[in-house]
Structure 1
Amino acid sequence: MVPTPEFNPSRRDLLRSGVVLGAAAGLGGAVGAPAAADAGDAAPERGDGEKSMTNVPFEGFDQVRVGLIGLGERGGGQDLRFAAVSTITAVCDIRPERVNRTVGRIMRQGFQDTAPVGYSAGEEDYLNLLRRDDIDLVYIATPWEWHYPMAKAAMEHGKHVAVELPIAPYLDQIWDLVRTSERTRKHCILLENVNYFRPEMAMFNMAHRGLFGDLQHASGGYVHDLRWPYLFGGAYHPEHWRRRWQTRMNASHYPTHGLGPVSATLGINRGDRFEELIAVASLPKALALFREEDPRIGSDHSSWDDAPYISGDRHTCFVTTTSGRFIRIEHDVNSPHPYSRETTLTGTRGSIEVDNARIYLESLGHKNHTWRSGTEYNTILRQHDHWLWPTLEQLASQYGGHGGGDFISIWRLVQTMRLGMTPDIDVYDSAAWCSVIPLSHESLKTGRMHPVKVPDFTRGHWQEARPTFDRPRPADPWLDKE
């Protein structure tokens, strides 16, 4: 088990870790010691009332009612997308001005007559939002240390929950969210928007139509120079929250943008599963150098109060699967580097490199060892579009978010709730993808190139076939009226 970083806990820290959450929220069940399995240990036995959430559909809703927690850099852009497809009944942020801004934006949009109720009376006010009986789904876009206690409390209060990346940064917390979902019968979903990007969805379709042959290996991750304005320039609130994770864990902190799409394409948790992980990392040099040299960082900047940066600038993980395939996962937010998700997929009939927008498939007659790119690449992908994109292309363009992928991910989640379907991404997918964070730390902690076992969060249900992004367009009154 990867331990929580050492620091002197305040009430805030205890709340974040879940120790006082039960008392604060008036919840049932033990919260202070979440059930956990050390890396490599067998999955824990299910407790009383815990049953698998595989193939468990949403209840079905005439109108999905949503509560938003966290209205900053990320949540502050998702509000109008949720409001376009659902009813926002409550919003929460520790900054009253952000709450007021969000309520005003939603009402000016004109889709609902009643203004959302705002909560901004300190760090525990989100609990009052969760006590409401007019919320079906809670969306969480707060600093990472808050994801676990907020997601757990949401399920304990009878709400489904969609969480920005990750659902939790530690293995015991990830396991506890799985078990809380199984006990409360509420879904806990990583809202991984890149799974819904147009090229990634076309790649999924092509793989499932056999164009890559037998899938062999893939790569994915997150390489994005965040030094300014995100780590040092005040784009986040509090200014330091993401940067200081680099002082807590030597880990691949944010792997799922590339990992999620290739994992879905490889059928992880649907006939195959992650089995073992090995991590390597470079030395942590870039952040301290940037702080020292950048003239925008003065002597009074909060970064001078940081503990030493211990997380390597570049992390590479190799995850092997039960069926003998492997995934390479890259993470680097510290180094000068153009943005890349490192997304690739290779099978016995060919390969695709999504970031480089090129493809080579013997199944399509590609025989001359030359990548197909440009117009030819785009034509091939359009021929294998997922139905979501041509159906929602105009709305995706209107509401945007990473080229429309943010809107598509939200719309689809709300659709599965309205129609009483199972989610595309479930708690087991969310757990497996996010487990790379603590497991990479564990692998590095015990020695370079040290393998660690990946838990089976499904407890054997990964062997069962079940749907995900491969489902055809359902009958939907929402679409029929458009």
Structure 2
Amino acid sequence: MPEVPAVSRRLLLGGTLAAGAAAGLGPATGAAAATHAAHADDTATPRRRPGQKSMINVPFEPYETVRVGVIGLGNRGSGMATGWSVIPGCTVTAVCDIRADRAGRTADALEADGKPRPAEYGGSEDSYAAMLKRDDIDLVYIATPWEFHYEQGKAALLAGKHAVVELPVATELDELWDLVDTSERTRRNLMLSENCSYGRNELAMLKMAHEGLFGDVTNGHGGYLHDLRELLFSDTYYTDAWRRRWHTRSTASFYAMHGLAPIAAAMDINRGDRMTTLKATATAPKGLADYRERFVPRSHPSWRETYINGDLVTCSIETAQGRTIRAEHDVSSPRPYSRINSLAGSRGIFEDYAGTSATGGRVYVEPDHSGHSWRDFDSYRKEFDHWLWKKLGDEAENGGHGGMDYVLQWRTVQLMRAGLVPDIDVYDSASWCAPVPLSVMSLANMGRPVAVPDFTRGGWVNLRSGLDSRSTDMPPVS
């Protein structure tokens, strides 16, 4: 059965969602309902085909063991293949990469760890299609370069598999719509592999928001600010320099969903609110060319490239409930790493990556605080620590990205084995990735706002559970 969210203080404080959601999680009213009514006639929203139905609140069918096939075995994929293999009740049955030697090395490593040796696929661009014909794969995990995510994610759904796809699931609006439609037709779930949504601070922030500590949430600020210049010019880190080459052919905000997704979850985007418009700005593309001038020899192939992606691309997003989100992307500038991760409302604010406490954040909430002075986040994270981290913290410590990868993988396997509704569904995945093409459209139109599609086709008005899930136990491994 699908999980039902506990009634929290967000339904009792008279906030913007309370009027429509308190009575049995019914539709939102007022401005949200008016927005939805107006959008119902929006010709940009394609109609469902006959027999095509929403995937909202559609659970996985229960699996005794989740059998995973991995496509893409570079830095990310090979590490995550190991991660899937150590989750209770999960096994990696097949691995695939266009470079067959990578599949062999991954299979060797899993076998050396005492795991069953997975079948190996590789050597051509369509090797993954042969892998998808197997009947011993329930979930396909995709970690190839961005330009292949849509094609491979759709193929997995059409093959009857569920899919977890690295960021972004697609880079064009028609591709995002097609993934939504394919999921609805095949009744298979597709989930963005957004590990930051499972970060400890992000989940504590979400719980604080949903318990009303920030009052009525009005705005959020997130992003992906990561100095990747050295890696982008490495000849070995990104195979065939695929990620640097995106900076030569697109002006998009490529990767802002790392910061956007946790803010969207805290605001109940697609679960009582939705993103309606986006406008983008971009600084000049200076960083990569400047780095190349100083550190890259003239014989390097990058000297034949021209960079067009702005160093800092900022997306300003408005929602149906009148909230604003600022999502940023910058991988070309010298700076410490940050996802910003800030949420504010009528009664307080949280800022991550700014504090000096052990947990890294700072907070100011009324009536607890006064005097216009920040307080450390430590005690709040202890109080509002998400049940996933209370349960998995010790196990997750050895996982990638501070444990976020392990929590994401454990939770995905648990959801499938227990037959539960995914925390992140195909509509979240499409919405969080929509700023990639929408930022291009806005920038091409002098930064004017563009409409954000309603991938739920009106289903967003109902409050429902997501990452704010109730505690559940992994079914025992027989």
Q: TM-score range by the shorter chain?
A: 0.7 to 0.9
8 Å contact kept, 1:80–1:109 = no
**In 1, distance between residues paired with 2:219 and 2:336?**
24
Secondary structure in structure 1 of the residue aligned to 2:252: coil
TM-superposed deviation, 1:41: 5.1
8 Å contact kept, 2:225–2:328 = yes
8 Å contact kept, 1:240–1:302 = no
Q: Return the TM-score normalized by structure 1.
A: 0.87
1:192-341 correspondence runs (5 A): 192-229=194-231, 231-294=232-295, 297-306=296-305, 308-341=306-339
Aligned to 2:174: 172
**In 1, distance between residues paired with 2:72 and 2:226?**
23
TM-superposed deviation, 1:305: 3.3
TM-superposed deviation, 1:251: 1.3
Among 352, 355, 362, the residue aligned to 2:353: 355
8 Å contact kept, 1:41–1:455 = no
8 Å contact kept, 2:68–2:93 = yes
8 Å contact kept, 1:167–1:190 = yes
Please give the per-residue CA displacement for 1:196-251, whole angstroms capped at 9, x wherever unaligned: 1111111111111111111010011101111102x111343423101111122111
Q: How many residues align?
A: 429
Match for 1:244: what amino acid?
Answer: R
Q: Which moved more, 1:40-49 or 1:425-434?
A: 40-49
Secondary structure in structure 1 of the residue aligned to 2:349: strand
Match for 1:50: what amino acid?
Answer: Q
Aligned to 2:432: 433
Match for 1:298: what amino acid?
Answer: P
8 Å contact kept, 2:418–2:475 = no
Q: Which moved more, 1:50-59 or 1:40-49?
A: 40-49
Secondary structure in structure 1 of the residue aligned to 2:406: helix
8 Å contact kept, 2:268–2:463 = no
Q: Percent identity, aligned pairs only?
A: 51
**In 2, distance between residues paired with 1:451 and 1:470?**
31
1:21-100 correspondence runs (5 A): 42-85=44-87, 86-100=90-104
Q: 1:326/1:180 Cα in 2 relative to 1: closer, same or farther (>3 Å)? A: same
Match for 1:243: what amino acid?
Answer: R
Please give the per-residue CA displacement for 1:283-309, whole angstroms capped at 9, x wherever unaligned: 111112221221xx2233221233x21
TM-superposed deviation, 1:88: 0.4
Match for 1:219: what amino acid?
Answer: H
1:416-455 correspondence runs (5 A): 416-448=415-447, 450-455=448-453
Q: 1:316/1:41 Cα in 2 relative to 1: closer, same or farther (>3 Å)? A: farther
- Are residues 1:388 and 2:388 paired? yes
Please give the per-residue CA displacement for 1:299-345, whole angstroms capped at 9, x wherever unaligned: 33221233x21111111110000000000011111111111112100
**In 2, distance between residues paired with 1:445 and 1:349?**
38
TM-superposed deviation, 1:48: 2.6
Q: 1:108/1:370 Cα in 2 relative to 1: closer, same or farther (>3 Å)? A: same
Match for 1:87: what amino acid?
Answer: T
8 Å contact kept, 1:318–1:329 = yes
TM-superposed deviation, 1:81: 1.0
- Are residues 1:157 and 2:155 paired? no
Q: Return the TM-score normalized by structure 2.
A: 0.88
Secondary structure in structure 2 of the residue aligned to 1:404: helix
8 Å contact kept, 2:423–2:469 = no
TM-superposed deviation, 1:102: 0.9
Aligned to 1:371: 374
- Are residues 1:105 and 2:109 paired? yes
- Are residues 1:473 and 2:476 paired? no
**In 2, distance between residues paired with 1:353 and 1:317?**
19
8 Å contact kept, 2:224–2:255 = yes
8 Å contact kept, 2:70–2:140 = yes
Unmatched 5+ residue regions in structure 2? 1-41, 355-360
Match for 1:367: what amino acid?
Answer: S
Secondary structure in structure 2 of the residue aligned to 1:359: strand
Match for 2:253: what amino acid?
Answer: S
Secondary structure in structure 2 of the residue aligned to 1:477: coil
Q: Which moved more, 1:121-130 or 1:268-277?
A: 121-130
**In 2, distance between residues paired with 1:282 and 1:478?**
52
8 Å contact kept, 1:195–1:201 = yes
Please give the per-residue CA displacement for 1:33-78, whole angstroms capped at 9, x wherever unaligned: xxxxxxx853100113321000100011000000001111111211
**In 2, distance between residues paired with 1:301 and 1:239?**
13
1:177-192 correspondence runs (5 A): 177-192=179-194
8 Å contact kept, 2:414–2:475 = no
8 Å contact kept, 1:226–1:334 = yes
- Are residues 1:147 and 2:157 paired? no
**In 1, distance between residues paired with 2:268 and 2:303?**
45
**In 1, distance between residues paired with 2:284 and 2:69?**
41
8 Å contact kept, 1:281–1:315 = yes
Please give the per-residue CA displacement for 1:111-158, whole angstroms capped at 9, x wherever unaligned: x3x310011121110111111110000000000000000000000000
TM-superposed deviation, 1:173: 0.7
**In 2, distance between residues paired with 1:196 and 1:368?**
33
TM-superposed deviation, 1:478: 3.6
8 Å contact kept, 1:171–1:438 = yes
Aligned to 1:3: none
**In 2, distance between residues paired with 1:88 and 1:476?**
18
Aligned to 2:22: none
8 Å contact kept, 1:346–1:352 = yes
Secondary structure in structure 2 of the residue aligned to 1:351: strand
Secondary structure in structure 1 of the residue aligned to 2:213: coil
**In 1, distance between residues paired with 2:473 and 2:164?**
24
